[in-house]
Chains A and B, each alone.
Chain A
Amino acid sequence: MNLTLRVWRQKNANSPGRFETYEARNILEDMSFLEMLDVVNEELIQRGQEPIAFDSDCREGICGMCSLVINGIPHGGRRGTATCQLHMRHFKDGDTITIEPWRARAFPLIKDLVVDRSAFDRIIQAGGFISVNTGGTPDGNAIPVPKPDADAAMDAAACIGCGACVAVCKNASAMLFVAAKVSHLNLLPQGKVEKDRRALNMVRQMDAEGFGNCTVTGSCEAVCPKEISLSFIAKLNRDYGLATLKGK
Protein backbone atom coordinates (compact mmCIF):
# COMPACT_ATOMS: atom_id res chain seq x y z
CA MET A 1 0.00 0.00 0.00
CA ASN A 2 1.00 3.62 -0.45
CA LEU A 3 0.54 6.23 2.23
CA THR A 4 1.02 9.93 2.73
CA LEU A 5 2.69 10.95 5.96
CA ARG A 6 2.50 14.36 7.58
CA VAL A 7 5.39 14.32 10.03
CA TRP A 8 6.43 16.94 12.55
CA ARG A 9 10.02 17.97 11.89
CA GLN A 10 11.95 20.19 14.27
CA LYS A 11 15.73 20.46 14.31
CA ASN A 12 16.01 21.07 18.04
CA ALA A 13 14.20 22.55 21.00
CA ASN A 14 15.04 26.09 20.01
CA SER A 15 14.15 26.12 16.35
CA PRO A 16 10.60 26.28 15.03
CA GLY A 17 9.01 23.08 13.80
CA ARG A 18 6.67 22.34 10.93
CA PHE A 19 4.90 19.48 9.20
CA GLU A 20 6.62 17.85 6.23
CA THR A 21 4.84 15.55 3.85
CA TYR A 22 6.38 12.28 2.75
CA GLU A 23 5.17 9.46 0.55
CA ALA A 24 5.55 5.97 2.01
CA ARG A 25 5.50 3.57 -0.91
CA ASN A 26 5.17 -0.21 -1.08
CA ILE A 27 4.30 -0.63 2.54
CA LEU A 28 3.37 -4.18 3.51
CA GLU A 29 0.66 -4.93 5.98
CA ASP A 30 3.00 -7.15 8.03
CA MET A 31 5.24 -4.19 8.78
CA SER A 32 5.06 -2.52 12.15
CA PHE A 33 4.47 1.21 12.21
CA LEU A 34 8.11 1.80 13.11
CA GLU A 35 9.28 -0.49 10.31
CA MET A 36 7.20 1.64 7.95
CA LEU A 37 9.09 4.69 9.25
CA ASP A 38 12.36 2.76 8.81
CA VAL A 39 11.48 2.33 5.14
CA VAL A 40 10.75 6.04 4.77
CA ASN A 41 14.01 6.88 6.54
CA GLU A 42 16.01 4.58 4.28
CA GLU A 43 14.68 6.47 1.28
CA LEU A 44 15.43 9.82 2.90
CA ILE A 45 19.01 8.78 3.60
CA GLN A 46 19.46 7.59 0.03
CA ARG A 47 18.29 10.98 -1.17
CA GLY A 48 20.84 12.57 1.17
CA GLN A 49 18.19 13.97 3.49
CA GLU A 50 18.13 13.60 7.22
CA PRO A 51 16.00 10.74 8.47
CA ILE A 52 13.11 11.38 10.84
CA ALA A 53 14.31 11.08 14.43
CA PHE A 54 12.07 8.94 16.64
CA ASP A 55 12.67 6.90 19.78
CA SER A 56 12.40 3.13 19.90
CA ASP A 57 14.38 0.33 21.44
CA CYS A 58 12.93 -3.06 22.33
CA ARG A 59 10.23 -2.97 19.62
CA GLU A 60 8.20 -5.52 21.51
CA GLY A 61 6.05 -3.22 23.59
CA ILE A 62 7.81 -3.36 26.94
CA CYS A 63 10.65 -0.83 27.16
CA GLY A 64 8.35 2.17 26.75
CA MET A 65 10.81 4.08 24.59
CA CYS A 66 8.57 4.45 21.52
CA SER A 67 6.03 7.21 21.38
CA LEU A 68 4.31 9.06 18.48
CA VAL A 69 0.87 10.60 18.32
CA ILE A 70 -0.65 8.95 15.27
CA ASN A 71 -3.67 10.66 13.75
CA GLY A 72 -4.29 12.44 17.02
CA ILE A 73 -3.98 9.40 19.30
CA PRO A 74 -0.86 8.37 21.20
CA HIS A 75 0.33 4.92 20.05
CA GLY A 76 -2.34 4.97 17.34
CA GLY A 77 -5.35 3.94 19.40
CA ARG A 78 -5.39 0.14 19.18
CA ARG A 79 -6.30 -1.24 22.57
CA GLY A 80 -3.29 -2.29 24.65
CA THR A 81 -0.83 -1.62 21.87
CA ALA A 82 2.33 0.48 21.83
CA THR A 83 3.46 2.10 18.58
CA CYS A 84 6.13 -0.55 18.04
CA GLN A 85 3.46 -3.26 18.03
CA LEU A 86 1.02 -1.37 15.85
CA HIS A 87 0.98 -3.04 12.45
CA MET A 88 0.22 -1.54 9.08
CA ARG A 89 -2.63 -3.96 8.42
CA HIS A 90 -4.76 -1.50 10.38
CA PHE A 91 -4.25 1.19 7.72
CA LYS A 92 -5.64 1.42 4.21
CA ASP A 93 -3.97 2.15 0.92
CA GLY A 94 -4.08 5.88 0.24
CA ASP A 95 -4.44 6.91 3.90
CA THR A 96 -2.89 10.13 5.11
CA ILE A 97 -1.29 9.71 8.51
CA THR A 98 -0.38 12.61 10.78
CA ILE A 99 2.52 11.93 13.13
CA GLU A 100 3.34 14.24 16.01
CA PRO A 101 5.53 14.02 19.10
CA TRP A 102 4.20 13.83 22.67
CA ARG A 103 3.31 17.40 23.53
CA ALA A 104 3.58 18.56 27.14
CA ARG A 105 5.53 21.23 28.92
CA ALA A 106 7.07 18.58 31.14
CA PHE A 107 8.28 16.64 28.07
CA PRO A 108 10.40 19.18 26.19
CA LEU A 109 11.07 18.34 22.57
CA ILE A 110 14.59 17.27 21.64
CA LYS A 111 14.30 16.70 17.91
CA ASP A 112 11.54 15.81 15.42
CA LEU A 113 9.49 13.19 17.29
CA VAL A 114 11.90 12.69 20.20
CA VAL A 115 11.02 14.21 23.56
CA ASP A 116 12.70 14.28 26.97
CA ARG A 117 10.76 12.20 29.51
CA SER A 118 13.28 12.49 32.35
CA ALA A 119 10.54 14.12 34.45
CA PHE A 120 9.26 10.57 35.03
CA ASP A 121 12.66 9.51 36.38
CA ARG A 122 12.72 12.45 38.75
CA ILE A 123 9.28 11.49 40.06
CA ILE A 124 10.56 8.00 40.85
CA GLN A 125 13.65 9.47 42.47
CA ALA A 126 11.37 11.48 44.75
CA GLY A 127 9.98 8.35 46.38
CA GLY A 128 9.11 5.58 43.91
CA PHE A 129 11.12 2.95 45.76
CA ILE A 130 11.25 0.93 48.94
CA SER A 131 14.17 2.04 51.09
CA VAL A 132 16.02 -1.22 51.56
CA ASN A 133 19.72 -1.72 50.99
CA THR A 134 21.11 -4.81 49.35
CA GLY A 135 21.52 -7.69 51.77
CA GLY A 136 19.96 -8.25 55.14
CA THR A 137 16.49 -8.74 53.74
CA PRO A 138 14.19 -11.40 55.22
CA ASP A 139 13.35 -14.63 53.40
CA GLY A 140 11.13 -14.13 50.38
CA ASN A 141 8.34 -16.09 52.05
CA ALA A 142 8.65 -14.33 55.41
CA ILE A 143 5.98 -11.80 54.50
CA PRO A 144 2.93 -13.48 52.95
CA VAL A 145 1.25 -11.24 50.39
CA PRO A 146 -2.43 -11.94 49.70
CA LYS A 147 -2.77 -12.99 46.09
CA PRO A 148 -5.32 -10.29 45.22
CA ASP A 149 -2.91 -7.64 46.55
CA ALA A 150 0.01 -9.11 44.63
CA ASP A 151 -2.13 -9.24 41.48
CA ALA A 152 -3.32 -5.66 41.90
CA ALA A 153 0.24 -4.49 42.55
CA MET A 154 1.30 -6.29 39.37
CA ASP A 155 -1.50 -4.62 37.41
CA ALA A 156 -0.10 -1.26 38.46
CA ALA A 157 3.53 -2.28 38.07
CA ALA A 158 2.93 -3.22 34.42
CA CYS A 159 3.34 0.49 33.53
CA ILE A 160 6.09 0.91 30.93
CA GLY A 161 6.61 4.62 31.56
CA CYS A 162 6.02 5.60 27.94
CA GLY A 163 4.13 8.79 28.74
CA ALA A 164 1.12 8.15 26.49
CA CYS A 165 -1.16 9.04 29.43
CA VAL A 166 0.40 12.50 29.54
CA ALA A 167 0.33 12.83 25.77
CA VAL A 168 -3.37 12.06 25.44
CA CYS A 169 -4.64 13.93 28.49
CA LYS A 170 -6.17 17.24 27.60
CA ASN A 171 -4.39 18.64 30.64
CA ALA A 172 -1.08 16.80 30.05
CA SER A 173 -1.51 15.24 33.48
CA ALA A 174 0.84 12.50 34.68
CA MET A 175 -1.61 11.15 37.25
CA LEU A 176 -1.98 7.70 35.71
CA PHE A 177 1.78 7.19 35.71
CA VAL A 178 2.26 8.46 39.25
CA ALA A 179 -0.78 6.56 40.48
CA ALA A 180 0.49 3.32 38.95
CA LYS A 181 3.90 3.74 40.53
CA VAL A 182 2.56 4.73 43.95
CA SER A 183 -0.09 1.99 43.94
CA HIS A 184 2.34 -0.75 42.94
CA LEU A 185 4.39 -0.18 46.09
CA ASN A 186 1.64 1.02 48.43
CA LEU A 187 -0.43 -2.10 47.81
CA LEU A 188 2.33 -4.43 49.02
CA PRO A 189 3.09 -4.99 52.70
CA GLN A 190 6.76 -4.23 52.01
CA GLY A 191 5.82 -0.84 50.64
CA LYS A 192 3.29 0.14 53.28
CA VAL A 193 6.04 1.28 55.65
CA GLU A 194 6.74 4.35 53.51
CA LYS A 195 3.26 4.70 52.09
CA ASP A 196 2.53 8.27 53.21
CA ARG A 197 5.93 9.73 52.46
CA ARG A 198 5.90 8.14 49.02
CA ALA A 199 2.54 9.57 48.01
CA LEU A 200 3.37 13.07 49.24
CA ASN A 201 6.84 13.26 47.75
CA MET A 202 5.96 11.82 44.38
CA VAL A 203 2.97 14.13 43.98
CA ARG A 204 5.09 17.10 45.01
CA GLN A 205 7.63 16.23 42.32
CA MET A 206 4.88 15.65 39.75
CA ASP A 207 3.57 19.14 40.41
CA ALA A 208 7.03 20.65 40.26
CA GLU A 209 7.58 19.14 36.81
CA GLY A 210 4.70 21.14 35.38
CA PHE A 211 2.23 18.39 34.52
CA GLY A 212 -1.46 19.31 34.49
CA ASN A 213 -4.20 18.05 36.80
CA CYS A 214 -6.45 15.06 36.52
CA THR A 215 -9.96 15.96 35.45
CA VAL A 216 -10.99 12.32 35.27
CA THR A 217 -11.71 12.20 31.55
CA GLY A 218 -10.38 8.64 31.38
CA SER A 219 -8.56 9.06 28.08
CA CYS A 220 -5.27 7.97 29.72
CA GLU A 221 -6.70 4.58 30.59
CA ALA A 222 -7.96 4.19 27.03
CA VAL A 223 -4.57 4.72 25.35
CA CYS A 224 -2.37 3.05 27.95
CA PRO A 225 -0.56 0.22 26.17
CA LYS A 226 -0.72 -1.75 29.42
CA GLU A 227 -4.35 -0.80 30.11
CA ILE A 228 -3.58 0.55 33.58
CA SER A 229 -6.85 1.26 35.38
CA LEU A 230 -8.13 4.68 36.38
CA SER A 231 -8.96 3.17 39.76
CA PHE A 232 -5.29 3.53 40.70
CA ILE A 233 -5.73 7.29 40.44
CA ALA A 234 -8.52 7.01 43.02
CA LYS A 235 -6.13 5.06 45.19
CA LEU A 236 -3.46 7.72 44.85
CA ASN A 237 -6.02 10.38 45.77
CA ARG A 238 -6.94 8.33 48.83
CA ASP A 239 -3.33 7.69 49.87
CA TYR A 240 -2.37 11.33 49.43
CA GLY A 241 -5.43 12.49 51.34
CA LEU A 242 -4.79 10.14 54.26
CA ALA A 243 -1.15 11.14 54.37
CA THR A 244 -2.19 14.80 54.42
CA LEU A 245 -4.69 14.23 57.22
CA LYS A 246 -1.99 12.54 59.26
CA GLY A 247 -0.05 15.79 58.96
CA LYS A 248 2.87 14.07 57.30
Chain B
Amino acid sequence: MKVVTNIFGSSLGKKYVMAISGAVLFLFLIGHLAGNLQIFLGPDVINRYGHLLQSNPELIWPARLFLLLMLVLHVWSAARLTIENRAARPMRYAQYTPLAASYASRTMMMSGLIVFTFIIYHLLHYTVRVKAINLTGQDFAGPEFQTPIKGLIGEHQHDVYRMMIVGFSNFWVSAFYILGMALLSLHLSHGISAMFQSLGWKNRVYGPFLDRAARVVAILIFLGYVSIPVAILLGYGKEAL
Protein backbone atom coordinates (compact mmCIF):
# COMPACT_ATOMS: atom_id res chain seq x y z
CA MET B 1 0.00 0.00 0.00
CA LYS B 2 2.87 2.33 0.84
CA VAL B 3 4.00 2.11 -2.75
CA VAL B 4 0.63 3.36 -3.96
CA THR B 5 0.50 6.26 -1.49
CA ASN B 6 4.09 7.17 -2.27
CA ILE B 7 3.32 7.29 -5.97
CA PHE B 8 -0.10 8.89 -6.04
CA GLY B 9 0.16 10.88 -2.82
CA SER B 10 3.55 12.52 -3.00
CA SER B 11 4.83 15.32 -5.17
CA LEU B 12 7.61 13.14 -6.58
CA GLY B 13 5.24 10.24 -7.17
CA LYS B 14 2.92 12.41 -9.22
CA LYS B 15 5.92 13.42 -11.28
CA TYR B 16 6.69 9.75 -11.91
CA VAL B 17 3.10 9.26 -13.06
CA MET B 18 3.47 12.21 -15.36
CA ALA B 19 6.85 11.03 -16.66
CA ILE B 20 5.85 7.43 -17.25
CA SER B 21 2.52 8.27 -18.89
CA GLY B 22 4.35 10.89 -20.92
CA ALA B 23 6.94 8.34 -21.95
CA VAL B 24 4.25 5.93 -23.17
CA LEU B 25 2.49 8.69 -25.09
CA PHE B 26 5.86 9.70 -26.55
CA LEU B 27 6.52 6.14 -27.72
CA PHE B 28 3.05 6.09 -29.24
CA LEU B 29 3.87 9.31 -31.09
CA ILE B 30 6.87 7.66 -32.67
CA GLY B 31 4.90 4.55 -33.67
CA HIS B 32 2.07 6.66 -35.00
CA LEU B 33 4.47 8.76 -37.01
CA ALA B 34 6.10 5.67 -38.47
CA GLY B 35 2.64 4.50 -39.52
CA ASN B 36 1.58 7.81 -40.99
CA LEU B 37 4.73 8.32 -43.00
CA GLN B 38 3.79 5.22 -45.01
CA ILE B 39 1.55 7.60 -46.95
CA PHE B 40 4.65 8.45 -48.94
CA LEU B 41 4.98 4.78 -49.95
CA GLY B 42 1.66 4.96 -51.81
CA PRO B 43 -1.96 3.97 -51.16
CA ASP B 44 -1.40 0.21 -51.04
CA VAL B 45 1.10 0.27 -48.24
CA ILE B 46 -0.71 2.65 -45.94
CA ASN B 47 -4.10 1.10 -46.59
CA ARG B 48 -2.71 -2.33 -45.79
CA TYR B 49 -1.31 -0.90 -42.54
CA GLY B 50 -4.68 0.68 -41.71
CA HIS B 51 -6.48 -2.56 -42.42
CA LEU B 52 -4.04 -4.51 -40.27
CA LEU B 53 -4.88 -2.34 -37.30
CA GLN B 54 -8.60 -2.15 -37.89
CA SER B 55 -9.08 -5.84 -38.51
CA ASN B 56 -7.59 -6.80 -35.15
CA PRO B 57 -9.90 -5.24 -32.56
CA GLU B 58 -8.64 -7.60 -29.88
CA LEU B 59 -5.25 -5.90 -30.22
CA ILE B 60 -6.25 -2.38 -31.06
CA TRP B 61 -8.78 -1.87 -28.29
CA PRO B 62 -6.55 -2.81 -25.38
CA ALA B 63 -3.91 -0.55 -26.87
CA ARG B 64 -6.40 2.28 -27.23
CA LEU B 65 -7.68 1.84 -23.69
CA PHE B 66 -4.13 1.73 -22.38
CA LEU B 67 -3.24 4.92 -24.23
CA LEU B 68 -6.41 6.54 -22.96
CA LEU B 69 -5.48 5.57 -19.41
CA MET B 70 -2.04 7.08 -19.91
CA LEU B 71 -3.59 10.24 -21.25
CA VAL B 72 -5.94 10.42 -18.28
CA LEU B 73 -3.04 9.90 -15.87
CA HIS B 74 -0.98 12.48 -17.69
CA VAL B 75 -3.77 15.04 -17.50
CA TRP B 76 -4.70 14.09 -13.95
CA SER B 77 -1.14 14.51 -12.68
CA ALA B 78 -0.80 17.79 -14.57
CA ALA B 79 -4.00 19.09 -13.04
CA ARG B 80 -3.04 18.02 -9.52
CA LEU B 81 0.44 19.46 -9.79
CA THR B 82 -0.85 22.72 -11.22
CA ILE B 83 -3.39 23.15 -8.43
CA GLU B 84 -0.68 22.49 -5.84
CA ASN B 85 1.77 24.80 -7.55
CA ARG B 86 -0.73 27.65 -7.66
CA ALA B 87 -1.45 27.13 -3.97
CA ALA B 88 2.25 27.15 -3.13
CA ARG B 89 2.50 30.83 -4.08
CA PRO B 90 -0.69 32.57 -3.03
CA MET B 91 0.87 36.02 -3.36
CA ARG B 92 2.42 36.81 -6.75
CA TYR B 93 5.48 38.98 -7.23
CA ALA B 94 4.92 42.51 -8.47
CA GLN B 95 7.98 42.12 -10.62
CA TYR B 96 9.12 38.67 -11.68
CA THR B 97 12.01 37.88 -13.99
CA PRO B 98 12.04 34.22 -14.99
CA LEU B 99 15.67 33.25 -14.97
CA ALA B 100 17.10 30.38 -17.04
CA ALA B 101 13.63 28.82 -17.32
CA SER B 102 12.94 28.18 -21.01
CA TYR B 103 9.71 29.34 -22.67
CA ALA B 104 8.69 25.72 -23.16
CA SER B 105 9.17 24.89 -19.50
CA ARG B 106 7.08 27.80 -18.35
CA THR B 107 4.20 27.08 -20.72
CA MET B 108 3.78 23.32 -20.35
CA MET B 109 0.26 23.68 -19.03
CA MET B 110 -0.83 25.92 -21.91
CA SER B 111 0.85 23.86 -24.64
CA GLY B 112 -0.54 20.74 -23.02
CA LEU B 113 -4.09 22.06 -22.99
CA ILE B 114 -3.96 23.09 -26.64
CA VAL B 115 -2.49 19.75 -27.64
CA PHE B 116 -5.23 18.04 -25.64
CA THR B 117 -7.89 19.98 -27.56
CA PHE B 118 -6.13 19.04 -30.76
CA ILE B 119 -6.13 15.35 -29.82
CA ILE B 120 -9.88 15.40 -29.29
CA TYR B 121 -10.39 17.05 -32.67
CA HIS B 122 -7.95 14.69 -34.30
CA LEU B 123 -9.76 11.61 -32.93
CA LEU B 124 -13.13 12.91 -34.05
CA HIS B 125 -11.60 13.83 -37.40
CA TYR B 126 -9.87 10.61 -38.45
CA THR B 127 -10.82 7.92 -35.90
CA VAL B 128 -14.49 8.52 -35.19
CA ARG B 129 -14.80 10.29 -38.59
CA VAL B 130 -17.44 12.85 -37.69
CA LYS B 131 -18.46 14.32 -40.98
CA ALA B 132 -19.32 17.78 -39.72
CA ILE B 133 -15.83 18.64 -38.57
CA ASN B 134 -13.68 17.67 -41.50
CA LEU B 135 -14.74 20.82 -43.39
CA THR B 136 -14.60 19.03 -46.74
CA GLY B 137 -18.27 18.02 -46.91
CA GLN B 138 -17.25 14.43 -47.54
CA ASP B 139 -18.04 11.50 -45.23
CA PHE B 140 -14.81 9.65 -44.33
CA ALA B 141 -16.94 6.83 -42.91
CA GLY B 142 -18.95 6.51 -46.12
CA PRO B 143 -18.65 3.91 -48.90
CA GLU B 144 -16.65 6.28 -51.13
CA PHE B 145 -13.78 5.82 -48.67
CA GLN B 146 -13.77 2.03 -49.07
CA THR B 147 -11.35 0.42 -51.45
CA PRO B 148 -11.06 -3.21 -52.63
CA ILE B 149 -8.37 -5.33 -51.00
CA LYS B 150 -5.99 -6.68 -53.59
CA GLY B 151 -6.14 -10.44 -53.94
CA LEU B 152 -9.30 -10.82 -51.87
CA ILE B 153 -12.29 -10.51 -54.11
CA GLY B 154 -15.29 -8.78 -52.64
CA GLU B 155 -13.40 -7.66 -49.52
CA HIS B 156 -12.97 -3.97 -48.85
CA GLN B 157 -10.80 -1.97 -46.64
CA HIS B 158 -10.85 1.64 -45.42
CA ASP B 159 -9.10 3.98 -47.88
CA VAL B 160 -6.83 5.66 -45.35
CA TYR B 161 -4.72 7.12 -48.12
CA ARG B 162 -7.53 9.01 -49.71
CA MET B 163 -8.93 10.10 -46.37
CA MET B 164 -5.62 11.72 -45.48
CA ILE B 165 -5.27 13.41 -48.84
CA VAL B 166 -8.80 14.74 -48.71
CA GLY B 167 -8.59 15.63 -45.07
CA PHE B 168 -5.40 17.65 -45.32
CA SER B 169 -6.23 19.30 -48.55
CA ASN B 170 -8.40 21.65 -46.48
CA PHE B 171 -6.13 24.54 -45.57
CA TRP B 172 -7.70 25.26 -42.15
CA VAL B 173 -7.57 21.62 -41.08
CA SER B 174 -3.90 21.46 -42.03
CA ALA B 175 -3.18 24.77 -40.34
CA PHE B 176 -4.72 23.54 -37.07
CA TYR B 177 -2.80 20.31 -37.45
CA ILE B 178 0.47 22.16 -37.93
CA LEU B 179 -0.27 24.39 -34.95
CA GLY B 180 -1.08 21.36 -32.85
CA MET B 181 2.18 19.70 -33.88
CA ALA B 182 4.15 22.87 -33.19
CA LEU B 183 2.81 23.03 -29.66
CA LEU B 184 3.33 19.32 -29.22
CA SER B 185 6.90 19.81 -30.27
CA LEU B 186 7.32 22.66 -27.80
CA HIS B 187 5.76 20.45 -25.14
CA LEU B 188 8.12 17.60 -26.00
CA SER B 189 11.23 19.76 -26.17
CA HIS B 190 10.87 20.25 -22.42
CA GLY B 191 8.89 17.13 -21.63
CA ILE B 192 11.35 14.55 -22.91
CA SER B 193 14.29 15.82 -20.86
CA ALA B 194 12.07 16.52 -17.85
CA MET B 195 10.87 12.94 -18.07
CA PHE B 196 14.43 11.69 -17.62
CA GLN B 197 14.95 14.18 -14.81
CA SER B 198 11.76 13.19 -12.98
CA LEU B 199 12.62 9.52 -13.17
CA GLY B 200 16.11 10.27 -11.96
CA TRP B 201 17.78 9.04 -15.13
CA LYS B 202 19.93 12.07 -15.58
CA ASN B 203 23.25 13.22 -14.27
CA ARG B 204 25.81 15.89 -14.87
CA VAL B 205 27.68 13.83 -17.45
CA TYR B 206 24.97 13.09 -19.96
CA GLY B 207 22.31 15.49 -18.66
CA PRO B 208 23.21 18.33 -21.02
CA PHE B 209 23.29 15.85 -23.94
CA LEU B 210 19.80 14.66 -23.04
CA ASP B 211 18.54 18.25 -23.00
CA ARG B 212 19.90 18.84 -26.50
CA ALA B 213 18.71 15.47 -27.74
CA ALA B 214 15.21 16.23 -26.44
CA ARG B 215 15.10 19.40 -28.49
CA VAL B 216 16.37 17.64 -31.60
CA VAL B 217 13.88 14.78 -31.24
CA ALA B 218 11.03 17.25 -30.69
CA ILE B 219 11.96 19.03 -33.91
CA LEU B 220 12.28 15.76 -35.82
CA ILE B 221 8.83 14.68 -34.65
CA PHE B 222 7.44 18.03 -35.70
CA LEU B 223 9.05 17.79 -39.13
CA GLY B 224 7.87 14.21 -39.57
CA TYR B 225 4.24 14.89 -38.79
CA VAL B 226 4.07 18.22 -40.55
CA SER B 227 5.63 16.83 -43.71
CA ILE B 228 2.31 15.11 -44.50
CA PRO B 229 -0.11 18.10 -44.59
CA VAL B 230 2.59 20.26 -46.15
CA ALA B 231 3.21 17.73 -48.94
CA ILE B 232 -0.53 17.36 -49.53
CA LEU B 233 -1.09 21.11 -49.62
CA LEU B 234 1.77 21.30 -52.11
CA GLY B 235 -0.02 18.77 -54.30
CA TYR B 236 1.10 15.32 -53.16
CA GLY B 237 -1.56 12.70 -53.92
CA LYS B 238 -3.69 15.13 -55.97
CA GLU B 239 -4.90 12.22 -58.16
CA ALA B 240 -6.79 10.72 -55.20
CA LEU B 241 -9.03 13.76 -54.71
Contacts and interface: CB of A to CB of B under 8 A. Distances in A.
- Do A and B come into direct contact in the complex, CB within 8 Å? yes
Interface of A: 6, 8, 19, 69, 71-73, 77, 98, 100, 103-106, 168, 170-173, 200, 203-204, 206-207, 210-219, 221-223, 229-231, 233-241, 244-245, 247-248
B154 interface: no
Contacts of B106: 170, 217
A117 B162 CA distance: 63
B87 interface: yes
Contacts of B102: 217-218
B199 A241 contact: yes
Given A105-B88, A234-B207, A98 B94 contact: yes
B89 A213 contact: no
A217 B201 contact: no
Contacts of B96: 72
Given A170-B101, A238-B200, A244-B6, A215 B11 contact: no
> Interface majority SS on A: helix, strand, loop or mixed?
mixed
Contacts of A245: 3
A108 B131 CA distance: 56
Q: Looking at B10, B85, B93, B190, which has the most chain A CB atoms within 10 Å of its CB?
A: B93
Q: Looking at B12, B94, B190, which has the most chain A CB atoms within 10 Å of its CB?
A: B12
A104 B89 contact: yes
A172 B199 contact: no
Given A72-B93, A244-B3, A217 B98 contact: yes
B205 to A, nearest CB: 9
Q: Which 9 A-B pairs have the closest CB atoms?
A: A238-B200, A212-B88, A217-B101, A222-B100, A72-B97, A171-B85, A237-B200, A172-B88, A72-B95
Contacts of A173: 11, 85, 88
B200 A234 contact: yes
Contacts of B31: none
Contacts of B190: 216
B99 A241 contact: no
A239 B89 contact: no
Contacts of B15: 213-214, 237
Contacts, number: 151
A230 B207 CA distance: 10
Contacts of B105: 215-218
A172 B197 contact: no
A73 B12 contact: no
A204 B10 contact: yes
Interface in B97-117: 97-102, 105-106, 108
Given A170-B101, A203-B11, A240-B12, 20 more contacts: A71-B95, A100-B94, A100-B95, A103-B93, A105-B90, A171-B85, A210-B87, A213-B14, A213-B84, A213-B85, A214-B15, A216-B193, A217-B106, A223-B99, A231-B207, A234-B207, A237-B12, A237-B16, A237-B197, A238-B201
Contacts of A222: 99-100
B200 A235 contact: yes
B108 A100 contact: no
Contacts of A239: 200
Contacts of B98: 170, 217, 219
A31 to B, nearest CB: 22
B50 interface: no
Nearest to A77: B99
28 contacts: A19-B94, A72-B97, A105-B88, A168-B99, A170-B106, A171-B84, A171-B89, A173-B88, A203-B11, A203-B12, A206-B11, A207-B11, A210-B88, A212-B11, A212-B89, A214-B15, A214-B198, A216-B190, A219-B101, A223-B99, A236-B12, A236-B200, A237-B197, A241-B16, A241-B199, A244-B2, A244-B3, A244-B6
Contact of B89 (A103, A229, A234): A103
B81 interface: yes
